[in-house]
Structure 1
Amino acid sequence: MSSLRARIALSAYRWAGVAAYPAVNAMMALRTARGKEERARKSERYGYASAARPEGPLVWIHAASVGETNAMVPLIKEIARRDITVLLTTGTVTSASVAHRRLGDEVIHQYVPLDLKPVINRFLEYWQPDIALFAESEIWPVTVMELGHRHIPQILVNARISDRSFRRWSSVTNIASTLFENFALVIAQSELDATRFQELGALPVLVSGNLKADSGMPEADQLSLTRCRYQIGERQTWAAISTFDGEEKAAAAVHRALKSRIDLLSIIVPRHPERADEIEAMLLEEGLNVARRSRNDAIAPDTDIYLGDTIGEMSLYLQLTEVAFVGRSLTAEGGQNPLEPAMMGCAILSGGHVGNFRESYQMLASNGSARMVRDGEMLTKGVYYLLTNEPARHRMIDAGLQTVHQMRGALNATLRGLEPYINPLTMKARLMPRNGAIAGA
């Protein structure tokens, strides 16, 4: 496909979105009914602002979901302290909640606009960002092209590209290069990610490391933590976190296999809390007693499973244990972020399907802080070994903490890469008097 044909295809994509408006409206109505959109703020998804745009420089930062939002917090704070307004968009209700809890009034939060030409035009004309920063792998064709038409620098930060995404983009290389050439800079997590972005047409590309190693974890509510620890008492615990369909059943099998040998409480934290009802029903069918965090259920002596079906409380669940299985790796593919349990002092178990976090797992595994399991039986053996072998468990925990420490530095590397774009905005912001007019104007 020639470059011209690639541009024609992208242009057709933009205008097809306009024709698809009725279907989009129906989809948004369904998402709202399911609680996946805030009804009162649904207009933001169509590019209508619900907040005033302050005068002066503004940086638009987009972080799709919870993990990306948490990773971007230190960078957002660094930009905000330079007197630059930060407009943060996220794509989910859960990430919006995290943004409010961790950043409060430090940012203006809006839901990300739909990738449709009239919507993006409306959004950009109102907010007029000086720079657009996108976290990890957020590449929306209409948004990228419209920013390019306005000559607004757009930068991918903490950028990564999964095996699956790379294969897809590689099958349409001319379309990929037509999009990626719009990026003023890509700051990649790893050398492999950098090479892939370059092959797809992105230039220049820098390597920073993973911002998630610098972001830390939000503090758990201390009253809730104390209460849970009191209720658990001397029982042994392990956690299956960020689980997907099928992995909760595997965790239940682990609990059933071990409960006769260990006074055990199993903690299950599904990646999508809205699945909690079906998970609880499955656990009850398995003959297990369930306490749910969302109901504020007490953890009784006969509780088998503590179901962590709340948003933004991963710190709480991880501080209740020293052994964590990280999901989306056994019955689903891609993996989830293993740095969170490592930095919270947990020995890590994982399935083998971790392509989205390959480098992090390689570093953790090579340092002895993560072990991979093939199936549910091996998971059971791994949990039992770590719960009954304190020296081995603590060696893994110490290795994980050391690995995270070694991985830090991505924030400083990212800021160095952003200096040519951020420094002029800092100067402009600090020259503006309080009435909003530029000094000397």
Structure 2
Amino acid sequence: MKLFLPRFFYALLLFVAFPYTLLHLLWRARRQPAYLHHWSERFGLYSARPTQPVIWLHAVSVGETRAAVPLVEALLARYPGHRILLTNTTPTGRATSESLFGERVIRAYLPYDYSFAVRRFVRHFKPALGLLMETEIWPNLIRACHASGTPVLLVNARLSVRSARRYGWLDALVRSSLGKLAAVVAQTHADAERLSLLGAQGIEVAGNLKFDCEPLPAQLQTGEQLRAQSGGSRPVFVAASTREGEEGLVLDALERLASPGLLTMIVPRHPQRFDEVAALLEQRGVIYQRRSAGEPVAVQTAVLLGDTMGELFAYYRAADMAFVGGSLLPFGGQNLIEAAAVGCPVLIGPHTWNFTDVARQAIACGAAQRVEDVAGLARALKDLLDDASRRRRMSEAAQAFSLAHRGTVQRLMQVIGRFLG
């Protein structure tokens, strides 16, 4: 009875939400028509059936897909007799997987967590092993895999305090789902402790997979070219992975800063917002160019709008300093590890609960600095612009920070090897 009621209410919630699920797809398609592509996959209907054994990896969107790169490469190298199935939830995640892996993996959308849909998914692909990235706890999916004998691992697992509270409302259902996982490999001991309190067992800690994502030489070369196209001698600041409302705050900070020679690159987190940010720049009377035009940056240009995909390492490489978005407003923060990997000094806002330990450690070692608001961002930018030696120290600390935390993929492959041999 303790488990029956939560499971019943979860099933009832999914049933009631079904029409809204369809409307949600249509609504999202207004801004991203790709949401209408492969829509049948979201209900467990797929075409080609793999002829080789399948290793299935689920990465929700762009960030998780990029983080999965070293793991996918290791799986491709170690298990050439298997096909890698990479599932996503968002079209941008799927597009990212296409650009990163091409035909080396098969890809599909993970179905919504309806019992009929997830059972179809499991029957169709018959995964030899399932790997869920970060915090993907879907009760019906995990239950279907468990019933079919498919071992499922929660890898690179993280659980913020906020998420732990939300999952606590469905304690019995979440506890049952976590208990059906074959293994849980957490990023940090704090994540492991929170997952354990929710019912996960046999948790191991392997670190954050994002630290093993090294920039490709081509990406670094693109960054050097971008710097050269920007005039070379101009100071460059990148506001990366910005979320709704943050671009305006960054522009407010730049007005306070009043540094006419500075080139700012603004790279929105979501591609569907590129035009929205362009409209904001026009409304503010800011002289800007689009990165997608591929033209040298004019002297009078104040902002380069980063409206391209897959070039974040290049933007960081071209910049003297970076603000990592999702943190000035309460979105939980975006990944600062990519900036650290190329030695770019990092500024972050007060809201970083998605990367609590990473942010704390980066600040402690001098790789990052926290700012509280627009005024703080303006002051921090001025201090870094005026102090080249401080920028150099932060750059060296960022690279050392990145190198010190690598090795997660090796530890994950050891765990995976227990189930695949």
Normalising TM by the smaller chain, what interval? Answer: over 0.9
Residue 58 of structure 1 corresponds to 54
In structure 2, relative to structure 1, the CA distance for the partners of 1:145 and 1:37 (3 Å cut) is: farther
Residue 111 of structure 2 corresponds to 113
Residue 295 of structure 1 and its aligned partner are, at CA, apart by 4.3
3-state secondary structure, aligned to 2:372: coil
Residue 350 of structure 2 corresponds to 352
3-state secondary structure, aligned to 1:156: strand
Residue 92 of structure 1 and its aligned partner are, at CA, apart by 1.5
Give distance in 1, aligned partners of 2:168 and 2:275.
40
Q: Deviations over 1:69-91 (max 9, x none)?
A: 11111111222221221111011
Give distance in 1, aligned partners of 2:37 and 2:182.
35
Aligned residue type for 2:353: G
Give distance in 2, aligned partners of 1:77 and 1:11.
40
In structure 2, relative to structure 1, the CA distance for the partners of 1:167 and 1:224 (3 Å cut) is: closer
Residue 273 of structure 1 and its aligned partner are, at CA, apart by 2.3
Give distance in 1, aligned partners of 2:400 and 2:414.
25
Given that 1:294 and 1:309 are in contact with CA atoms closer than 8 Å, whether structure 2 keeps it comes out as yes
Residue 202 of structure 1 and its aligned partner are, at CA, apart by 0.6
Residue 372 of structure 1 corresponds to 370
Q: Aligned runs of 1:18-417 on 2, under 5 Å?
A: 18=15, 20-35=17-32, 37-55=34-52, 57-81=53-77, 82-83=79-80, 84-218=82-216, 219-220=218-219, 222=221, 226=225, 229-259=228-258, 261-296=259-294, 298-417=296-415
Q: What's the Cα RMSD here?
A: 2.0
Give distance in 2, aligned partners of 1:18 and 1:247.
36
Give distance in 1, aligned partners of 2:4 and 2:223.
54
Give distance in 2, aligned partners of 1:403 and 1:297.
34
Given that 2:28 and 2:35 are in contact with CA atoms closer than 8 Å, whether structure 1 keeps it comes out as no
Give distance in 2, aligned partners of 1:276 and 1:98.
17
3-state secondary structure, aligned to 1:206: strand
Residue 310 of structure 1 and its aligned partner are, at CA, apart by 2.2
Residue 223 of structure 1 and its aligned partner are, at CA, apart by 6.1
Given that 1:170 and 1:200 are in contact with CA atoms closer than 8 Å, whether structure 2 keeps it comes out as yes
Alignment length (residue pairs): 418
- Structure 1 unaligned blocks of 5 or more: 424-441
Given that 2:139 and 2:174 are in contact with CA atoms closer than 8 Å, whether structure 1 keeps it comes out as no
Given that 1:228 and 1:299 are in contact with CA atoms closer than 8 Å, whether structure 2 keeps it comes out as no
Give distance in 2, aligned partners of 1:17 and 1:145.
16
3-state secondary structure, aligned to 1:241: strand
Residue 10 of structure 1 corresponds to 7
Deviates more, 1:31-40 or 1:132-141: 31-40
Give distance in 1, aligned partners of 2:90 and 2:157.
20
Aligned residue type for 1:106: R
Q: Deviations over 1:207-235 (max 9, x none)?
A: 00001001223542846852562243321
TM-score, with length taken from structure 2: 0.94
Residue 297 of structure 1 and its aligned partner are, at CA, apart by 5.5
In structure 2, relative to structure 1, the CA distance for the partners of 1:31 and 1:246 (3 Å cut) is: closer
Aligned residue type for 2:362: L
3-state secondary structure, aligned to 1:89: strand
In structure 2, relative to structure 1, the CA distance for the partners of 1:90 and 1:225 (3 Å cut) is: farther
In structure 2, relative to structure 1, the CA distance for the partners of 1:95 and 1:217 (3 Å cut) is: farther
Give distance in 2, aligned partners of 1:185 and 1:36.
37
In structure 2, relative to structure 1, the CA distance for the partners of 1:143 and 1:286 (3 Å cut) is: same
3-state secondary structure, aligned to 2:236: strand
In structure 2, relative to structure 1, the CA distance for the partners of 1:67 and 1:240 (3 Å cut) is: same
Give distance in 2, aligned partners of 1:119 and 1:172.
22
Given that 2:226 and 2:318 are in contact with CA atoms closer than 8 Å, whether structure 1 keeps it comes out as no
Given that 2:138 and 2:177 are in contact with CA atoms closer than 8 Å, whether structure 1 keeps it comes out as no
Give distance in 1, aligned partners of 2:262 and 2:141.
50
Give distance in 2, aligned partners of 1:107 and 1:17.
31
Q: Deviations over 1:226-266 (max 9, x none)?
A: 2562243321110111111222112112222334x451111
3-state secondary structure, aligned to 2:67: helix
Given that 1:237 and 1:266 are in contact with CA atoms closer than 8 Å, whether structure 2 keeps it comes out as yes
3-state secondary structure, aligned to 2:142: helix
Given that 1:162 and 1:356 are in contact with CA atoms closer than 8 Å, whether structure 2 keeps it comes out as yes
3-state secondary structure, aligned to 1:242: strand
In structure 2, relative to structure 1, the CA distance for the partners of 1:27 and 1:247 (3 Å cut) is: closer
Residue 12 of structure 1 and its aligned partner are, at CA, apart by 4.1
Q: Deviations over 1:187-221 (max 9, x none)?
A: 00000001111111111100000010012235428
- Give the % identical residues: 33
- Structure 2 unaligned blocks of 5 or more: none
Deviates more, 1:282-291 or 1:180-189: 282-291
Give distance in 2, aligned partners of 1:118 and 1:33.
28
Deviates more, 1:345-354 or 1:291-300: 291-300
Aligned residue type for 1:127: F
3-state secondary structure, aligned to 1:183: coil
